Copies of this chain bind each other. A is one copy, B any other.
Amino acid sequence: MMNTRSFFTRLLRSVAAPVDSARTAERKAREAIALCHALLSERGEVSGAALARDALAAYDALPANAFTFFVNFLARDFAPLPAKIASAVTAYSLEASPRNLVALQRAVEPPRQELFRRLNVAPGATAALVDMRRRLLRELKANPDWYGVDADLEHLFGSWFNRGFLRLERIDWRTPALILEKLIEYEAVHQITGWKDLHRRLAADRRCFAFFHPALPEEPLIFIEAALTERISTDVAPLLDPELPEADPALADCAIFYSITNCQDGLRGISFGNLLIKQVVYELGREFPRLKTFATLSPVPGFRAWLDEAAASHAERLPDFTCLNDADWFANGLLAERLREPLMELCAYYLTCVKKNAEPLDPVARFHLGNGARMQKLNWLADTSRQGMHRSAGVMVNYLYRLADVEKNHEAFVRHHEVAASHELKKLARECVLAADGISA
């Protein structure tokens, strides 16, 4: 822990690290790589921890502009040898025996993976590797050669961050400030404006849970926020109001998940959300046996973008929505009343009928439907924050998690792309003016 700590301190310091000349940067990257080579050699096997520490420290001390050189070296120097692959392929072609298969597996595995495993012996290395992938991902498009490095890290992390090794922990006002501060920083759905806001989100009628990994004891991987309410929430503003009086959680019959945030960009592709929601449904059901409904109150983040395109393509059949560009349109009661019906229909249509590769275009819909949830209800002007108006035109959806149906819904979704939705929502979608033609995006 000590070491993780000091590692993060160093990380933070390195943010401000001065940029060296390209020549110096490359030289330093080369020196760090030399330590990586040593770590992979026989010598590395025995000097173990010491060498791993040195290599990590060298990486960690790199100037900002040495990162690209460093990953380039990783991509080039620690890839599997084509000759080895070729001979393993040949052997396997001649005899597809278990031994030859294992030999082939080994031949195609990049030495990088073993390097990363050995680096991981150093204190703080797991955090450093997750951070390395975060930086790498930001520049992956510009560096297609890094594809293999990324694949190796993702493969390792898939193994290391196996759900079986994670701890679900309740986050409340007893949690160390160090961790709470990260919630404030990471929250991606409904920004936390400060400690007072956070305190309200951790009060008696709220719950917050996160997954942690033993090697990153102070870094939440993902967290979810829920409100315990007396009926299903259809408006997010009260849930986010720091002044809202606390309710008695014992009277609640409903748990509303209003935010779920992945904290570690470096773990992209390793999915925790599905398991987190279900485990939390289970934990809450145990603590509050009166809870009957578990649902989200979710944004429709792709709605406005799609609507703009649709409005352009079908200008003749759709009302003029340019008024939506005025962020305050909802304050105009008459206007809002006039827009309500067409927008709600279009949103229902968008959520249930607009697909990409046969799956819903909306990413939040895709996530919850893929988890086996059901699209239950659209809520008009349920999020009038800037972001809520900008992306979702203020509409929010309740996705319902009924554990008994989750598996069935999921299978129907995965096999037949069936969208589980309430009658009400399907009806709304059918009434949409675009519905007749089966128009998609």
Contacts and interface: CB of A to CB of B under 8 A. Distances in A.
Interface of A: 9, 42-43, 45-49, 75, 79-80, 82, 85, 89, 92-93, 96, 98-99, 101-102, 104-105, 108-110, 117, 120-122, 125-126, 144-145, 147-148, 151, 155-156, 158-160, 162-165, 173-178, 180-181, 194-195, 199, 204, 214-215, 218, 274-275, 278-279, 370-372, 406-407, 410-411, 414-415
A11 to B, nearest CB: 15
Copies of this chain: 4
Nearest to A1: B174
Contacts of A117: 158-159, 162
18 contacts: A42-B411, A43-B407, A43-B410, A45-B410, A46-B274, A46-B371, A46-B410, A46-B414, A48-B275, A79-B101, A98-B147, A99-B147, A102-B147, A102-B151, A120-B162, A174-B176, A194-B195, A214-B214
Helix, strand, loop or mixed for chain A's interface?
Answer: helix
A128 to B, nearest CB: 11
Contact of A163 (B46, B121, B214): B121
A117 B157 CA distance: 12
Nearest to A82: B96
A160 B120 CA distance: 11
Nearest to A160: B159
A415 B104 contact: no
A204 B101 CA distance: 47
Given A163-B121, A174-B178, A178-B174, A108 B104 contact: yes
A415 B155 CA distance: 32
A148 B274 contact: no
A43 B105 contact: no
B176 A173 contact: yes
Contacts of A80: 101
Contact of A177 (B45, B48, B164, B173): B173
